[in-house]
Amino acid sequence: MGVKEVLYEGQAEKVILPAFDGEICVLDWHESFLCRLRGGIIKTGDAFFLEIKDGVARMKDNKLVIMVTK
């Protein structure tokens, strides 16, 4: 089992996720969703970048939670 840690917590203008069907751009009050992520880079509007191997993203009630393998 891998290490669990919070890599980023806070507000972001937008988050770009590497989904299997292409990139998803998540903005404020985006519709709720659950999606699997492929390897790639998660980007935020305030220049935070994180390279991942895979993961899952969930958006609900204007809160985005992303769990990944780095």
Domains contained in the chain, CATH given: 14-69 (2.60.15.10)
pLDDT at 2: 66
Q: Where are the beta strands (DSSP E) in 1-70?
A: 14-19, 22-27, 33-37, 40-44, 49-52, 54-60, 63-69
At 1, is the pLDDT very low, low, confident or very high (cuts 50, 70, 90)? low
> Who has greater pLDDT, 48 or 39?
39
| Mean of pLDDT values over 21-44 | 95
* Residue 42 pLDDT exceeds 70: yes
Q: What is the rounded distance in angstroms from the CA atom of residue 41 to the CA atom of residue 61?
A: 24
Mean pLDDT value across the chain = 92
For residue 37, the number of C-alpha atoms closer than 13 Å in the C-beta half-sphere is: 26
Instruction: Quickly list DSSP for 48-64.
Output: -EEEESEEEEEEETTEE
* Residue 44 pLDDT exceeds 80: yes
